[in-house]
Amino acid sequence: MREPQDLGETTAMGTASSVLGSYSASQETSQTASDSKRVYSPQEVESARFYFSSGGLIEDAYIVAAIRRYRESSTDGNLSDIEIAHLISSTG
C-alpha cells in the first residue's frame, strides 16, 4: 500500500473508511433484526424524502421499488404512495 500524498488524501480515506464501516455495521444489524421489520437503503430513504417533499412529482427507480416492496409486504392497502413515502423517509 502506498503512503498518502497529503493530508487531504489521508482525511478522505479516513472518511470513506468511517462511512463504509458504519454502513456495514448497520446492514449487519438490519439482517439480524426480525423479518417483519422493513429495511430500506440510504438511496431509497433519500428518494422517499424527495418524493414526499415534492408531493409525488419527483419519482425515480428507488422510490418505485421501495413502494412496491412496502405494498408486497404490507396488509394495509389503504395507504397512498405519498403516505408510504413518508413512512419510508422517517425510517432513515
Q: What is the DSSP string of 6-29?
A: SHHHHHHHHHHHHHHHHHHHHHHH
Average per-residue pLDDT for the chain? 74
User: pTM higher than 0.75, yes or no?
Assistant: no
Residues near 38 by Cβ (< 8 Å), separated by ≥ 6?
69, 70, 73, 88, 91
Over the stretch 49-62, which tens digit does the pLDDT of each residue have?
999 999 999 999 99
Q: Which three cell numbers stand for residue 15?
A: 472518511
